Amino acid sequence: MTSTDARSGPPRPRALTFHGPLGEPRAADLTTRLAAHRPATVLDIGCGWGELMLRVLAAVPGATGTGLDLDEDDLARGRALAAERGLADRVEFLAGQAAGTEHGPAELVLCLGASQALTDAAPPLLVPEALRELRRLVRPGGRVLLGEGFWQRTPSSGELARMWPDATASDHPGLPELVDEVVAAGFRPARIETATPAEWEEFESGYREDVEVWLAGHPDHPLAAETRARVDRQRDSWLRGYRDLLGMAYLTLVPQD
C-alpha cells in the first residue's frame, strides 16, 4: 500500500447518476413533461448534484435553477456537471438549510427523497409538514415533483428490526395515504408513478458499487474494517429488510388555486 493509499479513504458513490431509484427512461419522461411547462425558475430541495434539475434546465433555454443541500462534495459535483454542460451561468448550488428558505417561490420545485430537509417534524408528521412547505415554495400554476417513500404493505416487527435503526411502521404512509396527504396540503396529483424493482436494484447496487470495489482492493486499509461493517449493514438492511417493502412514489403535483 502506498502512502497515498493510506491517506485516501473509500470513494463517493460515483456509479450513481441519480441519488435515488430513478432510471433513465423515467428520468427522460419526467424531464420532457416538466420542461413542457417552460418553467423559468427551478428550485431543487436536497439537490445532491442536481442531475434532474440540470436536465430540465438544458431542455428549457433561459431557465435558471437553485439547488440546496448540505453535502459540499455533492454540491461540488453538481457545479462541475453544470460547467461541463454549459449551464454554470444558469444554476447555483448552495450549501444551506432548506427549511424556511427564501429561495422561492419557483415555477418548478423538485424534492426527491428529501422531505426531511424541509421540516424538523418526525414521522408521521414529516410528510404533511414538508408538503406545506412545498406549497409555499411553488408559484401558482407551477409544478412540484415529489419523490417520497411509502410502504407497499405494512411491515412486520421482524422486518422492521432488520431495517435501519429504530425503524417503525409510522416512518412511511401507504401509497393511498400519501396521496391523501398531498390533496390535504392543497395539491392535485397530476401523475402518480412508482419506482420499479429494477430501478431499486440499480440504485442500491450503484450506491455501494464504488466502495465495494475499493474494499476488494484495500482489505488492509486503516478505514477498511469500519467501512466494511457499514456497507455490510446497509446491504443487509436492504436485502433482509426493506426490499420489496419500501416503495418510492414520484408524484407530479399541481397547486390548487
Q: Is residue 203 part of a domain?
A: no
| Predicted confidence band of residue 61 (pLDDT cuts 50, 70, 90) | very high
CA distance 31 to 35: 6
φ, ψ for residue 126 (rounded to 5)? Answer: -60, -55
pLDDT, residue 257, reads 86
Q: What CATH number is associated with residue 174?
A: 3.40.50.150
Buried b (16+ CB within 10 A) or exposed e, 187-200: bebeeeeebeeebb
Buried b (16+ CB within 10 A) or exposed e, 129-160: bbbbbbbebbbeebbbbbbbbbbeeebeeebb
Residue labelled with grid coordinates 427512461: 25
Q: Is residue 136 part of a domain?
A: yes
Q: Is residue 123 part of a domain?
A: yes
Across the range 62-79, mean pLDDT stands at: 97
Q: Is residue 215 part of a domain?
A: no
| pTM strictly above 0.75 | yes
Buried b (16+ CB within 10 A) or exposed e, 204-233: bebbbebbbebbeebeebeebeebbeebee
Across the range 170-190, mean pLDDT stands at: 98
Domain count, the chain: 1
* DSSP structure string for 228-251: HHHHHHHHHHIIIIITTTEEEEEE
Q: Is residue 227 part of a domain?
A: no
pLDDT, residue 3, reads 34
CA distance 118 to 125: 12
Q: Which of 190, 187, 142, 194 is nearest to 172 (CA)?
A: 194
Please write the tens of the pLDDT for every residue from 214-246: 999 999 999 999 999 999 999 999 999 999 999
* Domain of residue 56, residue span: 24-153+165-196+247-255
CA distance 206 to 189: 30
E strand or H helix at 147:
strand 138-151
CA distance 67 to 92: 6
Q: Is residue 107 part of a domain?
A: yes
pLDDT above 60: residue 250: yes
